[in-house]
Structure 1
Amino acid sequence: MLTLTENATLVIKSITGVEGAPDGAGVRISQENPAEPSLAVTTTDAPQPGDQVVENSGARVFLEQNAAGALDDKILDAAVDDKGGVEFLLVPQPS
């Protein structure tokens, strides 16, 4: 199952914890075509039917079915650049 680093947890909580966001808000990762490596990351109020939910210290990530399979053995990390832009990084989990 996808795991989150402390940085990713903090970044996701800051993104989804903005004023007016519902309590169950999270980041959703989806993959349109399982044959393609590209992933889409969006913020959303709640998981969609069939989404796998990963929660860590209040940060919630919703994984669409294709993305859940692709990210099953990965660690999600995040960084914020000088301009406040967020970059998510995926690294393999240690064996």
Structure 2
Amino acid sequence: MLTLTDNASTIVKTIASQATGEDDAGLRISSQTEPGSGDFAVDVASSPETDDQVVEAGGARVFLEEGAAAALDDKVLDAEVNAEGAVSFSIGNQQTA
């Protein structure tokens, strides 16, 4: 299952609550094209779609569309804010013990 870094959790929670005013809102990640292509769309959502997988970490919620959930199953989501205030997300591999 996708995991979130502490930075990603903080940023996701902030973006979702500022955009919707709702504490239960989150970011929805969906696959854009062919499975395995690595292209994803990210949108703020008040709630998950019926078949979405819900990932919760540090008060943040991420809703994963079925194709995105499969593609990101063993990944970690990170996020950062640059000096101009722009948010960028990155996806990496989970550490194995």
TM bin (shorter chain) = over 0.9
Please give the root-mean-square deviation of Cα atoms over the aligned residues, in Å.
1.3
1:21 and 2:3 aligned: no
Distance 1:89 1:26 in 2: 17
Please give the TM-score of this superposition, normalised by the length of structure 2: 0.91
Deviating beyond 6 angstroms after TM superposition, the runs of 4 or more aligned structure 1 residues are: none
Q: Which runs of 5+ in 1 are unaligned?
A: none
Distance 2:39 2:19 in 1: 30
Give the aligned partner of residue 45 of structure 2. Answer: 44
Please give the TM-score of this superposition, normalised by the length of structure 1: 0.93
Give me the identity figure in percent: 48
Q: Report the count of equivalent residues.
A: 95
Q: Which runs of 5+ in 2 are unaligned?
A: none
AA in 2 matched with 1:15: I
Deviations, residues 7-34 of structure 1 (Å, cap 9, x unaligned): 0001011101217522210000000331
Give the aligned partner of residue 4 of structure 1. Answer: 4
Matches within 5 A, 1:1-95: 1-18=1-18, 21-32=21-32, 33-95=34-96
AA in 2 matched with 1:53: V
